[in-house]
Amino acid sequence: MSKNVNYFKNCPVCGFNEFISVLNNKWKNSSYNKCLKCSLIFQNPQESIIKTKSRYNENYFKYELENQHNFFNLIKKTMDDFDILNILPEGASVLEIGSATGLFLKYMNENKFDAVGLEICRQSADYGKKNHKVNILNKTLEECKFKKNSFDFIHFSHLIEHLNDPINFLKIVNDIAKPESLIMITTPNSSGLFARIFKENWRCIVDDHLFIFNKKSLKILFKKTNFKISKIRSWGSIPKGKTLNIIKKISDHFVKLTNTGDVVCFLLKKC
């Protein structure tokens, strides 16, 4: 049991050694800390990914399948916003980490790119291969051992907050990315407006999230792992069905304009 638990003495992003305990009202025995320097929120101690892997089962697959078009549409919106398809070289090699059922890979292949995906939920990977005819490996990034300078575009959405060691993960991403490549990363943003308003009841506070980043901690993380920031976008406010459509529309528009949404997306390049 003990070998599957990691304990941090220093902030895993900025290295500072002073934390406070947070989210105590949500979970009585909360093990969440907030770094007093970069405001990163992180589970401490945290379960190893070895145990976490078993969560990506049949139920997870059903959730991914039900939501595949919603999730893909959000990715596509950001891709359009950054004009990715027009920036990438012809026939670019693309890697997606956390491909779910593979709609993003299908979209990239349809646009004449050469896409491969990784997905640790076996059922989701099998579904994508069979139904969308895409190349999905049922492996983690660490298991793949891709060669250096392999990819023109690397994408992962709602993944990095689930990992035990985001720094090592990003170092591998940096290694396998080509010198002129683009990296697009989306994750919840605790510096957003509704995160500040709802605090413990904010929709992104779920116990599958080992890390809850904010823009400041992400900037430190990317600098540490040799990335430079090209563009930042933020979106997302009140979930569908929780308020009148008109109020949702106004609040969605406001957080997008002020870059203070529930989610933040960084477009990165290698340093």
- List of residues contacting Zn ion (CB under 5 A): 11, 13-14, 16, 35, 37-38, 40
Residue 42 Cβ, how far from Zn ion at the closest point, in Å?
A: 9
User: Which tokens belong to 133?
Assistant: 């005819």
Nearer to Zn ion, 35 or 267 (CB): 35
Nearer to Zn ion, 151 or 169 (CB): 169
> Which amino acid is it at 33?
N
User: Which tokens belong to 64?
Assistant: 């991914």
Residue 224 Cβ, how far from Zn ion at the closest point, in Å?
A: 11
Residue 16 Cβ, how far from Zn ion at the closest point, in Å?
A: 5
Nearer to Zn ion, 14 or 49 (CB): 14
What is each CA distance from 133 to 71, 107, 124, 127, in whole angstroms? 19, 11, 13, 9
Nearer to Zn ion, 16 or 27 (CB): 16
185 DSSP β-pair partners: 156, 266
Nearer to Zn ion, 101 or 225 (CB): 225
How many whole angstroms separate alpha carbon 7 and alpha carbon 254? Answer: 39
Nearer to Zn ion, 33 or 157 (CB): 33
Neighbours of 69 (CB within 10 A): 11
Residue 158 Cβ, how far from Zn ion at the closest point, in Å?
A: 22
141-144 own/partner pairs: CB under 8 Å, 24+ apart: 141/97, 141/169, 141/172, 141/173, 142/168, 142/169, 142/172, 144/118
Residue 219 Cβ, how far from Zn ion at the closest point, in Å?
A: 12
Sign of the torsion angle spanned by Cα atoms 198, 47, 18, 159 = negative
Residue 149 Cβ, how far from Zn ion at the closest point, in Å?
A: 31
Nearer to Zn ion, 11 or 100 (CB): 11
Residue 98 Cβ, how far from Zn ion at the closest point, in Å?
A: 24
Contact 232/191 with Cβ under 8 angstroms?
no
How many whole angstroms separate alpha carbon 82 and alpha carbon 113? Answer: 17
Length of the chain: 271
173 φψ region: left (φ > 0), alpha (ψ -120 to 50), beta (else): alpha
User: Which tokens belong to 192?
Assistant: 């957003």
